[in-house]
Structure formats: structure tokens, C-alpha cells
């Protein structure tokens, strides 16, 4: 089902009522230059790392702030669209985990159910054994089920992309490819997209409806996320969007235009299309109690260590330290040229999402992470941003500092 057609104008649920002027970073007069807003400076830093375009949005009680830099298409002066849609990659996993936890809260599924019980015979062969893997381990990336994406040609080379960008996969076919490999050796945490493809299959087995239908009914419609959809086999991004570019692992740069893609190889793990304002609304609802019962929020935010210092992982959410003290939750996303990072404070009161439309190296990732951390640490009085795009948020209370 595609809900990304022409959307209504006027007031959106996230509080954007109209297109305002972009943040100004240049001098207003020769005698009195206007200082760049901190968010704009951070967006400029991401752009300076070598990507084509950047857009970021931050929400806090009563405000929305946005900034952009670069272009939506190489060789043009077209700016990144304020309400642009993009493939959110692995940020999809948080949506999938939320649906699973809703089913747990309804008593229709247990986190301790085995994959074999719910999907008999699917995880088997080459040492893989679904009877030894639980739903919790899928969502937590502690299953040691092998990663499948290296076996998808469209995601790994320019030639593979051109040959297979419109190829459609079934989840069963993708998992069968993963089963050609033995489990990941060792113990502890090991990231695998296959985990979330299996979670999507379990959702369908329990509900007798597709993963896409359940995400639509349980998250997209209740939160009125008008720019968010599971595109199915549809390879295009309807509505305003920036083009996506990737160099297929050969370094930073633009490389190939990879905007068109059938993402059925990533059902449940990376196929959703969304926007910065929809992601901010989703993250806030996830932790402020609008989507999950308190017991399920606790399950989602109970973490295990990962190999990265300062990063733990719950059920579809990472937990990271904030430079100002405390921590936040979020998830990165990366799917052929579109790269995003988003985060939310534990109470859901402040969120930040940034995305780019081309490859970036470590400097890009560092700049995106820094933007999210700084914005989640920042306390701003309502309407105090000067040149920034500051807009009222109708679904939040009065401004308050972070806890």
C-alpha cells in the first residue's frame, strides 16, 4: 500500500504549518553580521565532510527547528526539500521491533518464543538452528544468524545495482540465502539484517497480515505519519525527495545515482520510506508511551553491550552516551546513498534526525552523530533561535529543560 502520494497542504501533525525562510548564515549588514544558528553550523559541518546534501530537524516541547545544506541533485542548485522523503534503511528496525512488542503486550507472542516454533524449518542448515534462537535474540542481535546483505548484488556493486535494482525478493528467499552460511562464531552481540527479516515473517505468521500492513495499522496511521510507507515492490520515492548517490564502498564521493530500488530484500530490516519530521514524531511516541505499554518500553530500552565503546543495544534501539551526561536512544540507517541518524531522549521530549543523500566516510558519520548529540543536549527557550526555522509544535506542552 502506498501512502506517499500527494499529501494535503496546511498544518501537519508535526507542527509544520507553512514553508518559512531558510536559516541565514551570512551577514545582514557589513557592520553587524548575523551569527549562524548552532543547528545550521552543525549541518554545514556534515556537508563539509563531502556529501551532496544534508537536512536535519530537531523537535522539543513547543518547537521544531530545521536546517539544510548542499543540493538535492548533483549539477543543480536545487536545495534539499524541507519535507523530503528518503529510504531510512536500518531505522526501519525500530518500527519492526515496536510492532513485535505490541504483539507481546497483547499476549499474542512471547519474546522467549523460538524461531522454530513460529517459523518451523526456516532457520536450519549449515549449523543454523531456529530452536536455539528466540524472538528476543532476533530483536537484540544476539542470535548469531548470518548476515544476508552481502549476497544481494544490487547492494554491493554498480554492475549488480544496474542488473538487479528492480528485482523482487520474498522474505523466504532472502532468509534461504542467509542459511547458506554458518552462524556467526563467538558469543555476544552481532548485527544481522536477517534477524529483522525473520521478525517480519513472524509478525505475518502471528497476525495473518503482512509486516507492511501491520506497520501501517499500528504505527503509521495512529501517528498520522503522512510521509512514511512500506513501498513493497514499488522502486521509486513518490513526492519531494533528493536523489541518492553511492560509490559502492570505494570511498566517499557521488558515484552512481541509486535513487530507484526495489527494497524487498530488506522487508522488516530496512525498506521503509519516511521523512525527518515523521521520524521525530515516531521516536517521541515510542518513548513517551503512545505506542507501547510501560513494560514493553522497558523491554525495548534494556540493553546489552556491543563491540563499540559507549554503545549498547536494546530491542531495535541503540543506547548511546550524551556528552552533557546521561544517554539517549536511536538508530542509524543506511541504504544505498541515503544515510540517516536519529535520537531521542529517554522521556521522548527531545528528538533529532539528520540525513544525507550520498556516501560519507568516518568524518560524515562523526559529524552526524555530533549533530544529534549536541541537539539533544541543547536547551532552548521557545522561539529563541533567531535565524533558524523555528516552528510551533501543537502536540507538545510548554518548553522544559532536559532531565
Write out the residue range of the structural domain in which residue 325 sits: 38-391
79 phi and psi angles, rounded to 5 deg: -75, 165
Neighbours of 158 (CB within 10 A): 14
Q: Has residue 204 been placed in a domain?
A: yes
Ranking 33-47, 217-231, 312-326 by mean pLDDT, the lowest is: 33-47
Indicate if the pLDDT at residue 382 is higher than 70: no
Q: Give the separation between CA 293 and CA 274, rounded to whole angstroms.
A: 24
Q: Based on the structure, what is the number of domains in the chain?
A: 1
Give the pLDDT confidence score for residue 361 in this predicted structure. Answer: 86
Give the pLDDT confidence score for residue 148 in this predicted structure. Answer: 97
Q: What is the pLDDT of residues 170-211, one digit of tens each?
A: 999 999 999 999 999 988 999 999 999 999 999 999 999 999
Q: Has residue 5 been placed in a domain?
A: no
Of 98, 144, 143, 141, whose CA–CA distance to 306 is shortest? 141
Give the pLDDT confidence score for residue 268 in this predicted structure. Answer: 98
Query: For the residues 78-82, what does the mean pLDDT come to?
Result: 97
CATH number at residue 214: 3.40.710.10
Indicate if the pLDDT at residue 286 is higher than 60: yes
Indicate if the pLDDT at residue 335 is higher than 90: yes
**pLDDT over 70, % of the chain:** 84
Buried/exposed 87-100: b ≥16 CB within 10 Å, e otherwise: bbbbbbbbbbbbbb
Q: Has residue 23 been placed in a domain?
A: no
Q: Has residue 25 been placed in a domain?
A: no
Q: Has residue 99 been placed in a domain?
A: yes
Q: Are 199 and 97 in contact (CB under 8 A)?
A: yes
Of 232, 217, 269, whose CA–CA distance to 102 is shortest? 217
Q: Has residue 22 been placed in a domain?
A: no
Three state DSSP letters for 345-368 = ECCCCCEEEEEECEECCHHHHHHH
Amino acid at each position: 500500500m502506498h501512502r506517499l502520494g500527494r499529501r494535503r497542504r496546511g498544518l501537519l501533525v508535526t507542527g509544520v504549518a507553512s514553508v518559512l525562510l531558510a536559516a541565514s548564515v551570512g551577514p545582514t549588514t557589513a557592520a553587524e553580521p548575523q551569527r549562524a544558528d548552532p543547528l545550521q553550523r552543525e549541518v554545514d559541518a556534515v556537508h563539509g565532510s563531502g556529501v551532496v546534501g544534508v537536512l536535519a530537524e530537531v523537535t522539543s516541547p513547543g518547537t521544531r527547528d530545521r536546517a539544510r545544506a548542499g543540493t538535492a541533485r548533483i549539477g543543480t542548485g536545487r536545495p534539499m526539500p524541507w519535507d523530503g522523503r528518503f529510504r531510512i534503511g536500518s531505522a526501519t528496525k525500530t518500527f519492526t521491533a515496536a510492532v513485535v512488542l505490541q504483539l507481546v503486550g497483547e499476549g499474542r507472542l512471547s519474546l522467549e518464543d523460538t524461531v522454530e516454533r513460529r517459523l518451523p524449518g526456516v532457520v536450519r542448515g549449515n549449523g543454523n538452528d531456529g530452536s536455539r534462537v528466540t524472538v528476543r535474540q532476533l530483536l537484540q542481535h544476539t542470535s548469531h544468524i548470518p548476515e544476508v546483505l552481502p549476497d544481494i548484488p544490487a547492494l554491493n556493486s554498480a554492475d549488480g545495482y544496474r542488473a538487479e535494482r528492480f528485482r523482487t525478493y520474498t522474505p523466504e528467499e532472502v532468509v534461504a540465502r542467509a542459511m547458506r552460511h554458518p552462524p556467526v562464531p563467538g558469543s555476544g552481540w552481532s548485527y544481522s539484517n536477517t534477524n529483522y527479516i525473520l521478525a517480519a515473517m513472524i509478525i505475518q505468521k502471528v497476525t495473518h497480515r503482512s509486516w507492511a500492513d501491520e506497520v501501517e495499522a499500528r504505527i503509521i496511521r495512529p501517528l498520522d505519519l503522512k510521509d512514511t510507507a512500506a513501498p513493497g515492490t514499488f522502486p521509486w520515492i513518490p513526492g519531494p525527495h533528493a536523489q541518492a548517490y553511492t560509490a559502492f564502498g570505494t570511498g566517499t564521493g557521488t558515484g552512481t545515482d541509486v535513487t530507484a530500488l526495489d527494497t524487498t530484500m530488506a522487508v522488516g530490516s530496512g525498506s521503509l520510506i519516511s521523512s525527518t519530521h515523521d521520524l521525530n514524531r515516531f521516536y517521541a511516541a515510542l518513548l513517551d508511551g503512545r505506542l507501547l505499554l510501560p513494560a514493553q518500553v522497558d523491554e525495548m530500552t534494556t540493553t546489552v553491550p556491543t563491540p563499540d565503546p559507549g554503545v549498547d543495544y536494546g530491542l531495535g534501539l541503540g543506547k548511546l552516551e550524551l556528552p552533557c551526561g546521561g544517554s539517549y536512544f536511536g538508530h542509524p540507517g543506511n541504504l544505498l546513498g541515503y544515510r540517516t541518524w536519529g535520537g531521542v531522549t529517554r522521556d521522548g521530549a527531545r528528538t533529532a534526525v539528520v540525513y544525507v543523500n550520498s556516501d560519507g566516510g568516518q568524518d560524515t558519520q562523526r559529524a552526524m552523530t555530533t549533530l544529534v548529540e549536541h541537539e539533544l543536549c541543547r536547551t532552548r527557550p521557545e522561539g529563541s533561535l533567531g535565524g533558524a526555522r523555528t516552528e510551533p509544535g501543537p502536540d507538545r506542552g510548554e518548553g522544559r529543560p532536559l532531565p
